[in-house]
């Protein structure tokens, strides 16, 4: 029997038992070894079964204990298919659409399902204000003078310390601070690419990254991407000779919230390293996991300095502070030089404030709360969508992050839905924004980083009603 | 008689009278009209006489009153010659030298004649610390959330208001904030140029700008530059068909501190506009004038949106805050898009703090004090150089800014002088840093933005003694 079919069939059987209530939330599943014996399958196939169930949010793994039926309620929306973008680089930038949606940023009169960060209500504003005041006192000269090129030492130290949690083992000297995460990505792409080079990315993908690559004269090759497990490695293998750079968001990327399993991360790192293709890894959502453990990164498996690891404080605590960082591996000198000529140094006070906030342990408390809110929102969104959206609506099943990807029936055009929704003070991010090709016109991204309220629930239901009318 | 010779001769005569003490500090000079009658010359030639005297810092003009003998003491150091760079783009980047000098940034154990900003002792640190605290209170959400793409409205309003002083008449909507001045220049160069394009600049020129242009794949054509009046317009005319972009610092550029007269600004603007070549104008030193009035900018004469005006708060109040701005004229959309994809938005708190500081009038008080200190330092430096440096040492005669350009006899290599000086805890910026060609090896830039003290005087004398030993 075809191996793919086999693991799917076994996973389907277990999924059925969960959905039928035979297996209940919290129940322990058979071990990998037991599953092998029961079905006469290999360890690898058994592992794929659990991976599949995990990617459907039906089971959780607990280290050293095994797999358990997830405590999430049974999700009534099915998963979208793996994306199938063209394997040729396209340049069809949806500029007008993007401008329109970005112009809504900060508008108080709208329900901003379209944003890509947690709303201010979920951020530790009061604590950060105090940290800013303390930072002006702690910094030499109040932070008025240029700081060193590489960036605030305390901040770099804290990021290095925290990298232990994801197996990064970074040193303070590996890191360079930047003006937010996009700035880190920009320096990396400028350091690695020249006009005409091709960069491979997930599809769908964050529009800013697509625009950035295009503005640097790079071609973008969009990769088939599974909504739960990220890029299809076989697809990457097929185009490996066509690409110069790879840029991925392996942990809870936007818009799909896909999460690349450790095995896949390892395989991608080895594959790219073998072909001497640098990987820019964007880990801005990595701290926003719904599971029990901080996920690993591709950088965790990097032995050759081939991975430029980027992240920021924008998705977790303070978008407006513009504090980001990069561990550029063997490309450190190039990135450092770009930082020098593009910005001389980073804004001093903000970095010091973030460094101190990370240091106090308040960050962990805040993250715990934020993750709980995001996960609860995710469940509420899915329930609402299952009840109030057009039949056949599919959603991603993010295991972290702030984005939920919604796929409607083919005939529902989300650019039209946007126009209808905005008249009701609702802003969404239509799927076409997240690609340079003509695809995802029946999809949209919803931000789950808004505080749940009766009003929000009403607006979400209203959106569903409008979708039925497109 | 040759017209050039005529105005030079008349200017020389008046200069002689000043140097001989016949004309004394504060004495009124004959009016332009009187000079015409006395010498039988045209108004234009008479004006050039005063311009020449002004460029030598021998006379000051007072609006509606005429010309007066400068209150500066008679300068005992002659002016360097007009620079004569090759008219072919060179790429000989002095990377090693630059890295070495930049690495000294922030070192407390050195006398940093090499820096390009006023030292922290001359900056309004206590007041800015208060502004930061107030900013976290005033901003919605404490500045933790993303602000609008174009940047803090209050700051843009203050910059627009202040532009009246230099004839800019900017509106808040003309402006985009950036992460410091270099960031503004970077966006402009990226918006205008593609790899292989040629950008014309002053020679000598700020190393960061040279490196930035090179890192974007642009060719740099260095223009012959007069130490007092900036680029030679005839030289620009000769290469006008070879260049795609022009980038100038017309007011007190670094390292020479040259100051382009209004007539020249007007002429350059018209010339570039005629040839449809955009001008990036860097005005970061414009507020640091030693004379009676805020100088005009090229942007003051821009009627077609052909000039991208850049400036920042880094040279006047707070380098470490990274607050800059650009009025990109007709290139606004391109710059705005680059800001979006490279950094999403600016750091909110810093901008609000700078905006409020500009608003209070404390800025004017601070500037008055800073300008006085810089001008006094300039005079002290020149006196010390005249007395303690090798015979034949020439210096620029800046009418503003923080830089003094020193030209030694050809046989004195300032790269060697650097090595000798650093052993005595003195850091200088060798002339070779400021060009991509093999020139200025006998020159150096000294920062006059350090607080004068016995120690500083001693270190400057020591530098002179070392120069005699090279």
Q: Determine, for residues A147 and B106 on separate chains, whether the beta-carbon distance falls below 8 Å.
A: yes
Min Cα–Cα distance to chain B from A342, Å = 5
A72: pLDDT strictly greater than 70: no
The tokens describing B36, both together, are 């015409």
Picking from A333, A361, A389, the residue at the C-terminal end of a domain is A361
Facing B182 at nearest CB: one of A117, A320, A344: A344
**Interface size between A and B, measured as CB pairs under 8 A:** 193
* Average confidence (pLDDT) over A340-363: 92
Chain A residues within an 8 Å CB radius of B148: 105-106
Question: Which position has the higher pLDDT, A248 or A37?
Answer: A248
SS (H, E, C) A99-139: HHHHCCCCCCCCEECCCCCCCHHHCCHHHHHHHHHHHHHHC
Domain final residue, candidates A342, A361, A380: A361
Question: A380 lies in a domain?
Answer: yes
Alpha-carbon distance A16 to nearest alpha carbon in chain B (angstroms): 44
Whether residues B194 and A194 touch (CB distance < 8 A) is answered with no
φ, ψ of residue B397 in degrees (nearest 5): -125, 70
pLDDT at A15: 83
- Picking from A186, A314, A347, the nearest residue to B350 by CB comes out as A347
Domain with residue B40: its CATH number is 1.10.10.10
Kindly state the average pLDDT of the residues B434-442: 96
Beta bridge partners of residue A66, listed in sequence order: A62
Contact list, B326 vs chain A (CB under 8 Å):
none
Examine the domain organization and report whether A218 and A317 are in the same domain.
yes
- Interface mutation vs chain A, best among B103, B131, B146, most A CBs within 10 Å: B146
In this structure, is residue B167 part of a structural domain?
yes
B89 lies in some domain: no
Instruction: Give the ipTM of the model, two decimals please.
Output: 0.83
How many angstroms separate the Cα of B301 from the Cα of each of A48, B40, B172? 69, 32, 19
- Per-residue pLDDT, averaged over B289-305, amounts to 94
- Residues in chain B closer than 8 A to A146 (CB atoms): 105-106, 117, 319-320
To test the contact with chain A by mutation, choose from B115, B126, B144, B354 the residue with the greatest count of A C-beta atoms within 10 A, namely B144
Q: What confidence tier does B73 reach under pLDDT thresholds 50, 70, 90?
A: low
Asked if A144 lies within 8 A of B317 by C-beta distance, the reply is yes
Predicted confidence (pLDDT) per residue in A126-137, tens digit: 999 999 999 999
Contact B146 A319 (CB under 8 A): yes
In whole angstroms, give the CA distance from residue A441 to residue A16.
Answer: 31
The rounded percent of chain B whose pLDDT value lies above 70 is 97
Query: Are B346 and B393 members of one domain?
Result: no
Distance from the Cα of B120 to chain A's closest Cα (Å) equals 6
What chain A residue is nearest to B137 in terms of C-alpha separation?
A129
- pLDDT tens digits, one per residue of B221-248: 999 999 999 999 999 999 999 999 999 9
**A84 domain residue, yes or no:** no
Question: Distance (Å) from the C-alpha of residue B85 to the closest C-alpha of chain A?
Answer: 23
Of B128, B142, B211, the CB nearest to A144: B128
**In this complex, do A183 and B123 lie within 8 Å of one another by their Cβ atoms?**
no
Contacts of A317 in chain B (CB under 8 A): 144
Q: Is the model's pLDDT at B60 over the cut of 90?
A: no
Could you say which of A144, A340, A342 has the minimum Cβ distance to residue B120? A144
Which is nearest to B117 in space by CA: B288, B281, B239?
B288
The answer on pLDDT for B256 being more than 70 is yes
Label residue B450 exposed, middle or buried (CB < 10 Å: 0-12, 13-18, 19+): buried
Query: Can you tell me the mean pLDDT for B151-175?
Result: 95
Q: Least CA distance to A208: which residue of chain B?
A: B341
Q: How confident is the model at residue A3 (pLDDT cuts 50, 70, 90)?
A: low
Q: Where residue A428 sits, what CATH number does that domain have?
A: 3.90.1150.10
Residues of B in contact with A117 (CB under 8 A): 146
B323 and B383 assigned to the same domain: no
Q: Name the band, by pLDDT with cuts 50, 70 and 90, for residue B4.
A: low
Same domain, A149 and A273: yes
Asked whether residue A329 is domain-assigned, the answer is yes
**Same structural domain, A210 and A265:** yes
Q: Is the pLDDT of residue B193 over 60?
A: yes
Q: What is the pLDDT of residues B20-47, one digit of tens each?
A: 777 877 888 888 888 898 888 888 888 8
Q: How far apart are the first and last CA of chain A?
A: 44
Do B343 and A148 make contact, defined as CB atoms within 8 angstroms? no
Main-chain phi, psi angles of B94, to 5 degrees: -85, 60
Residues A196, A210 within the same domain: yes
CA atoms within 13 A on the CB side of A416: 12
Lowest mean pLDDT among A10-24, A155-169, A362-376, B268-282: A10-24
- Residue from the list A195, A345, A349 with its beta carbon closest to the beta carbon of B132: A349
Quote the minimal CA–CA distance from B393 to chain A in Å. Answer: 32
Given an 8 Å threshold on Cβ–Cβ distance, is A105 in contact with B317?
Answer: no
A141 within a domain of the structure (yes/no): yes
pLDDT (0 to 100) of residue B1: 47
Cβ separation B125–A142 shorter than 8 A: yes
Task: Count Cβ atoms below 10 Å from residue B191 Cβ, excluding itself.
Answer: 23
Is the separation of the CB atoms in A457 and A113 below 8 Å?
Answer: no
Quick one: pLDDT at residue B16?
80
pLDDT band with cut points at 50, 70 and 90 for residue A75: low
CB-based burial label for B43 (10 Å; 0-12, 13-18, 19+):
exposed
pLDDT above 90 (res A192): yes
Phi first, then psi, for residue A325 (nearest 5°) are: -160, 165
Q: Residue B402 belongs to what domain range?
A: 95-121+365-469
DSSP B398-437: -SBSSEEEEE--TT--HHHHHHHHHTTTEE-EEGGGG-SS
Instruction: Write the residue in A117, A126, A179 that is nearest to B343 by C-beta.
Output: A179
A135: nearest CA partner in chain B? B129
Chain B hits for A345, Cβ within 8 Å: 319-320, 322
Measured between CB atoms, which of A128, A142, A183 is closest to B342? A183
**Distance from C-alpha of B325 to C-alpha of B184, rounded to nearest angstrom:** 6
pLDDT tens digits for A235-245? 999 999 999 99
Nearest residue on chain A to B323, alpha-carbon basis: A347
Residues B150, A241: Cα–Cα separation, whole Å? 40
Query: Inter-chain contact A132–B137, Cβ cutoff 8 Å?
Result: no
Minimal Cα–Cα distance from B46 to chain A, Å? 43
Residue from the list A128, A182, A344 with its beta carbon closest to the beta carbon of B341: A182
Q: Residue A1's pLDDT band (boundaries 50, 70, 90)?
A: very low
pLDDT at A38 exceeding the cut of 50: yes
What pLDDT, on the 0 to 100 scale, is given for residue A13? 86
Q: Give the residue-averaged pLDDT of A323-344.
A: 96
B-chain residue closest to A189, CA distance: B342
| CB-neighbour burial class of residue B37 (10 A; exposed 0-12, middle 13-18, buried 19+) | exposed
Domain-located, residue A80: no
Whether the pLDDT of residue A415 is over 60: the answer is: yes
Q: How far is CA B43 from the centre of its chain?
A: 29
Residues of chain A with Cβ-Cβ distance to B141 below 8 Å are: 120, 123, 125, 320
* Residues of chain B with C-beta less than 8 angstroms from the C-beta of A94: none
| Chain B residues inside the 8 Å CB shell of A215 | 190, 337-338, 341
pLDDT for residue A119 is more than 70: yes
In A, minimum Cα distance to B333 occurs at A99
CATH number at residue B340: 3.40.640.10
**Are B231 and B189 part of one and the same domain?**
yes
Query: Are B324 and B197 found together in one domain?
Result: yes
Residues B324, B444 within the same domain: no
Do B141 and A338 count as a contact with CB atoms less than 8 A apart?
Answer: no
Nearest Cβ partner of B144 from A141, A180, A318?
A318
Contact A180 B344 (CB under 8 A): yes
Confidence of residue B87 (pLDDT cuts 50, 70, 90): confident
Inter-chain residue contact B347 with A186, CB threshold 8 Å = no
Contact A340/B186, CB-based, under 8 Å?
Answer: no
Per-residue pLDDT band at A23 (split at 50, 70, 90) = confident
| Beta-carbon separation of B142 and A125 below 8 A | yes
SS3 A226: strand
Q: Does residue A146 sit in the same domain as residue A220?
A: yes
Under an 8 A CB cutoff, do A106 and B320 touch?
A: no
| Predicted confidence (pLDDT) at residue B59 exceeds the cutoff of 60 | yes
* Residue B349 located in a structural domain: yes
Q: What is the pLDDT of residue B135?
A: 96
Give the pLDDT mean for B346-374. Answer: 94
The residue among A136, A208, A317, A334 with the most chain B CBs within 10 A of its CB, best to mutate, is A136
Q: Report CB contact under 8 Å: B314, A344.
A: yes
Confidence band, pLDDT 50/70/90 cuts, at residue B13: confident
Nearest CB partner across the interface for A144, out of B217, B320, B343: B320
- B33 shares its domain with B10: yes
What average pLDDT is seen over chain B?
A: 92
Share of chain B above pLDDT 90, in %: 74
- State the Rg of chain B over Cα: 22
Q: What is the pLDDT of residue B2?
A: 56
Same domain, B181 and B59: no
- Which of B361, B376, B399 corresponds to the end of one domain? B361
Domains held by chain A: number:
3
């Amino acid at each position: 029997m075809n191996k793919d079919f086999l693991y799917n069939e076994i996973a389907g059987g277990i999924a059925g038992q969960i959905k039928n209530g035979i297996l209940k939330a919290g129940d322990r599943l058979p071990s990998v070894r037991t599953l092998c014996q029961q079905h006469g399958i290999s360890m690898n196939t058994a592992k794929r079964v659990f991976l599949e169930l995990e990617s459907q949010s039906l089971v959780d793994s607990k280290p050293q204990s095994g797999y358990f039926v997830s405590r999430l309620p049974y999700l009534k929306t099915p998963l979208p298919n793996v994306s199938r973008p063209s394997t040729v680089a396209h340049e069809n930038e949806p500029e007008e659409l993007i401008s329109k949606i970005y112009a809504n940023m900060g508008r108080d009169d709208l329900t901003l399902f379209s944003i890509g960060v947690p709303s201010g209500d979920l951020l530790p504003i009061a604590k950060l204000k105090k940290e800013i005041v303390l930072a002006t006192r702690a910094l030499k000269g109040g932070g008025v003078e240029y700081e060193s090129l590489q960036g605030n030492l305390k901040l770099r130290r804290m990021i290095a310390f925290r990298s232990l949690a994801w197996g990064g083992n970074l040193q303070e000297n590996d890191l360079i601070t930047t003006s937010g995460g996009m700035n880190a990505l920009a320096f990396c792409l400028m350091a690695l690419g020249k006009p005409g080079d091709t960069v491979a990315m997930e599809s769908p993908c964050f529009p800013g990254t697509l625009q950035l690559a295009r503005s640097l004269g790079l071609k973008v090759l969009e990769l088939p991407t599974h909504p739960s497990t990220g890029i299809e490695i076989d697809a990457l293998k097929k185009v490996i000779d066509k690409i110069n750079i790879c840029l991925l968001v392996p942990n809870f990327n936007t818009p799909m919230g896909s999460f690349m399993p450790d095995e896949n991360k390892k395989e991608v790192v080895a594959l790219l390293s073998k072909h001497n293709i640098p990987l820019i890894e964007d880990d801005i959502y990595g701290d926003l996991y719904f599971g029990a453990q901080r996920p690993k990164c591709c950088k965790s498996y990097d032995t050759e300095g081939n991975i430029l690891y980027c992240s920021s404080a924008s998705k977790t605590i303070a978008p407006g502070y513009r504090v980001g960082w990069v561990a550029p591996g063997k490309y450190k000198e190039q990135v450092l030089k770009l930082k020098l000529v593009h910005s001389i140094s980073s804004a001093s006070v903000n970095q010091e404030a973030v460094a101190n906030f990370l240091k106090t342990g308040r960050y962990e408390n805040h993250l715990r709360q934020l993750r709980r809110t995001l996960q609860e929102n995710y469940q509420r969104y899915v329930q609402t969508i299952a009840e109030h959206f057009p039949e056949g609506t599919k959603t991603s099943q993010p295991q972290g992050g702030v984005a939920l990807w919604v796929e409607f029936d083919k005939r529902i055009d989300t650019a039209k839905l946007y126009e209808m929704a905005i008249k009701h003070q609702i802003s969404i991010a239509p799927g076409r924004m997240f690609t340079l090709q003509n695809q995802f016109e029946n999809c949209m991204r919803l931000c789950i980083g808004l505080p749940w309220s009766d009003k929000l629930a009403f607006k979400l239901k209203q959106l569903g009603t409008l979708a039925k009318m497109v």
